[in-house]
Amino acid sequence: MTAINRLAMLVLGLGLILGSALASEYSFGSKVMSMDTDFGRPLRDYAAPPNPAADFSIGYWETGVVNGYDDTDVVYLHQGTLLIPPVLVDTVANDVRLTPFGYLPAGSKVTPQDNDIGVPLVALPGAPPFTSSIGWVNLYGGPEHDLDDPVYLHPGPIIVPAVTLTATNDVRLTAVGGKQPGTKVGNLDADLPLVFAPLTAFSPNPITTLVPIAGTQFPISPNAYIRYVDINGNNQYDYPDDVYLITANPITTATQSVRVNDLRLSGPVF
């Protein structure tokens, strides 16, 4: 190895260590509170270049244990666009696991050394027009979405004001009744079914809906405000960066920072 290569590896290693030290210590699926160290950190749009031209999207790896989306399949927050009708797109480094894969927990990011790097992803199934949604349930009452209300990834549309219920294999993005973030709703679970909350002025529901536009799955961020904090300051989304789901409207340039009740979509990095 040349001296230049050794220096490059040292700089990369120091960058990862520094980024890990500055990244959030809070767990995937937790909500931000005012006393948390990441409260008020500036949020960035996920935009090219040097990122992929599309934004985050959600897909799953069909493991083949059971044909079709089921409790054995792994769900990812993917960098880039997934195609509809389903076309296989590979996982890439820094995709976020929304459900566990083996010993790798929900909220962890895919790295080049992981066994699920490059596995094929397809869009989550849903009723026509093939939508999948992120929404919240008003579990404890109150006019708006608050710290105690659970959030789910629902493979189908959340239609308001019509009644939409949580369903088997919805992914919990927050803890619910002792069930941890990243787990899927089972047939005998207490949160099956719950009613997704109605749309309000400051608490949208669905928080986001993924819809096909010109044959592609529409990027999630324009509707959901999935944003990241640029932990290492390199102006691009990468491994140390923390990912958040902004769960309240409105969001503007002036308020584009981590706020109370924002949901952490990635876990600590080490």
CA 259 to chain centre: 17
pLDDT of residue 13 exceeding 50: no
pLDDT in tens, 237-248: 999 999 999 887
3-state secondary structure of 247: coil
- pLDDT value at residue 7: 42
Q: Say which residue the tokens 């699920």 belong to.
A: 116
Q: SS3 for 89-133, per residue?
A: EECCCCCEECCCECCECCCCECCCCCCCCCCEEEECCCCCCCCEE
Q: What is the pLDDT of residues 68-101, one digit of tens each?
A: 899 999 999 998 877 666 677 899 999 999 999 9
| Structure confidence at residue 11 (pLDDT) | 41
Size (the chain), residues: 270
Distance CA 216, CA 123 (A): 10
Total Cβ atoms within 10 A of residue 163:
10
pLDDT at 17 over 80: no
The 10s digit of each residue's pLDDT in 210-228 is 766 655 666 666 655 788 9
What is the share, in percent, of the chain residues with pLDDT greater than 70?
79
> Which bin fits 150, alpha (ψ -120 to 50), beta or left (φ > 0)?
beta
Domain residues of the chain, as ranges? 3-46+225-263
The mean pLDDT of the chain is 84
Q: Give the integer Cα–Cα distance in Å for 14 and 239.
A: 13
Tokens of 66: 């059971």
